[in-house]
Amino acid sequence: MPNRPLTTLVLLLTASSGACGRLAAQLPADAQPRVTRLVLPDSGRLVDGRAFALRIADATPRETLVVGARRTVRVARRVGRSWTTVVLPVTSEATVVTDGDGVVDLARTVPVSGSWRSADAGALLWSMQAARDTLAGELARDASTISIALLRRGAIVDTTTLRLVAPAPVVTRSVSLGEIAGTLVAPAGARRRPVVLVLHGSEGADSASVRDIAMPFVALGYAAFGVAYYTGGRPNSFPGVPTVFDGIDIRGLDRARDWLGAQPEADTARTAVWGVSKGGELVILAASRLRWPRAIVGCVPSDVMWAGFGRQTTDRERLVSWRDGETRLPAIPYIRYERVFMDTSVTARMVHDESRAAVPALARATRIPIERTRSPLLLVGGDRDQIWNSGAMVDAIATTMRRRAPRVPVDVLRFPDGGHGLCGPGTRPAPIFGAEDDPASIGTARARAAAWTRTVDFLARHLGPPRDGAR
């Protein structure tokens, strides 16, 4: 990726900011030149979860320009057996040609060259990669601030700043329902909005994280309930929610929906369930056993049930992930999962693949009978997923549905270059998902943006528009 224009961008950003405006102000009104400019909607604020838009206006028709962006992000990097967090400057850029009116709409314009090669405004954000210079000090350390510049023949002609913000104002309300808990988040003043139950992964949840995972759906206008079904012993967790992943009762989702039915912001007749990773496994299981979801989104899910975890067991004892009421559901036991933490050459995917292949009959017995569902499905998986083979598993789920429940709508997104981080808004740059030389990093960033766009469309199609319902 060329980096020289963005090096110039950072060096000149402070000095050039506002220069065009000052020059124009010194000229008579009838002599002011045509000033090429960047146009951001909503005063340069992007509510994380909504679509990004950027236009270039008042340029010369058919001229070549460079648009670039720069920010800092915090990324996790593995050093030996431990992980560390580093602050990384990242950049993106594209060379574009204006149309006959001197306009560029990044959502409609295919770049001539640069960090991305398709008509996609959001690519300015997700295609960012590690900067090749050492100018991080020129940037705000706040990762939610993005500097954008427009260059003509190497000189900056306009700059602007984009800020990623959370939806506001919102109402939040938390509840503990025994072994399940969570937080309802909704736009302030909302009444009877469609509601999305949001299920976290194996990392567990606390009172802050359930609110955070609900926010992107609130940005779209829905009421959202961040579900806590496992804490992993995290601080600031909900009391009563399991700290060991063993026999989690899927009927807790029924209790959550019942509670939501008494909240004025939620219309539980229009309820979707969205789950990521281990929550994706739960959402597929819920789809097979619950009748009320209007839509199901399984993001990097599993098609089988896996063993539980979180404490030492005896030789005869087996932890299972799930139960349905009093019935403990079968699970594939792991073959020495501790190798993932002891040997950097062993991935979680290797352990999942080996454990599944060890006893084929058990793999068949633990298959989730997804064909029982009548809920429309959106399935998202990646072939470069190093936690488990979500690409193959979403394909297996879809194949079962086509053969055994062909009337149920199923949308499948299987990304050859996608990793495990496919779930959520598409504003996350590639280095968050791995090393720069790893094809899965840019592949995951690109796929995540595409998956979020499809998720937005899927929810609108099956829940209806995210606005107040009849009282």
Tens of pLDDT, residue by residue over 129-168, are 988 654 434 444 577 899 999 999 999 999 999 999 999 9
Band of pLDDT at residue 361, cut at 50, 70 and 90: very high
Q: Are 225 and 198 a contacting pair, CB within 8 Å?
A: yes
User: What pLDDT sits at residue 84?
Assistant: 82
pLDDT of residue 4 exceeding 60 = no
pLDDT of residue 354 exceeding 50 = yes
**Structure confidence by residue, pLDDT tens digits, 51-78:** 999 999 999 999 999 999 999 998 877 7
User: What pLDDT sits at residue 320?
Assistant: 97
pLDDT of residue 111 exceeding 70 = yes
User: What pLDDT sits at residue 141?
Assistant: 55
CA atoms in the 13 A half-sphere facing the CB of 328:
13
Residues 170-179: what's their mean pLDDT?
96
**Structure confidence by residue, pLDDT tens digits, 323-343:** 999 999 999 999 999 998 888
Give the DSSP H/E element, type plus range, for residue 19.
Answer: helix 19-25
pLDDT of residue 33 exceeding 70 = no
User: What pLDDT sits at residue 21?
Assistant: 36
Mean pLDDT of the chain: 89
> What's the maximum distance between 2 C-alpha atoms anywhere in the chain?
88
Share above pLDDT 90 across residues of the chain, in percent, rounded to a whole number: 77
Q: Which of 4-8, 11-15, 139-143, 411-415 is most confident?
A: 411-415
User: What pLDDT sits at residue 462?
Assistant: 98
pLDDT of residue 83 exceeding 80 = no
pLDDT of residue 16 exceeding 60 = no
**Structure confidence by residue, pLDDT tens digits, 208-258:** 999 999 999 999 999 999 999 999 888 888 999 999 999 999 999 999 999
Q: Which of 132-136, 401-405, 427-431 is most confident?
A: 401-405
Which residue carries 């350390």 as its tokens? Answer: 141
pLDDT of residue 375 exceeding 80 = yes
**Structure confidence by residue, pLDDT tens digits, 260-314:** 999 999 999 999 999 999 999 999 999 999 999 999 999 999 999 999 999 888 7
pLDDT of residue 26 exceeding 70 = no
Q: Are 147 and 139 a contacting pair, CB within 8 Å?
A: yes
Q: Residue-wise over 274-305: b if at least 16 C-beta within 10 A, else e?
A: bbbbbbbbbbbbbbbbbeebbbbbbbbbbbbb
Backbone angles phi, psi at 205, to 5 degrees: -145, 155
Q: Residue-wise over 360-394: b if at least 16 C-beta within 10 A, else e?
A: eebeeebbbebeebebbbbbbbbbbbbbbbbbebb
Between CA 54 and CA 106 the distance in angstroms is 6
Which SS3 state, helix, strand or coil, does residue 202 take? Answer: coil
pLDDT of residue 14 exceeding 80 = no
Band of pLDDT at residue 471, cut at 50, 70 and 90: low
Residues 6+ apart with CB under 8 A from 31: none
Nearest alpha carbon to residue 282 among 322, 247, 246, 225: 322
**Residue 188 region, left (φ>0) first, then alpha (ψ -120 to 50), else beta?**
beta
Six token digits for residue 156 = 């900056």
Between CA 330 and CA 213 the distance in angstroms is 29
User: What pLDDT sits at residue 133?
Assistant: 54
User: What pLDDT sits at residue 135?
Assistant: 40
Between CA 448 and CA 445 the distance in angstroms is 5
Neighbours of 452 (CB within 10 A): 24
Backbone angles phi, psi at 189, to 5 degrees: 85, -5
Q: Are 182 and 257 a contacting pair, CB within 8 Å?
A: no
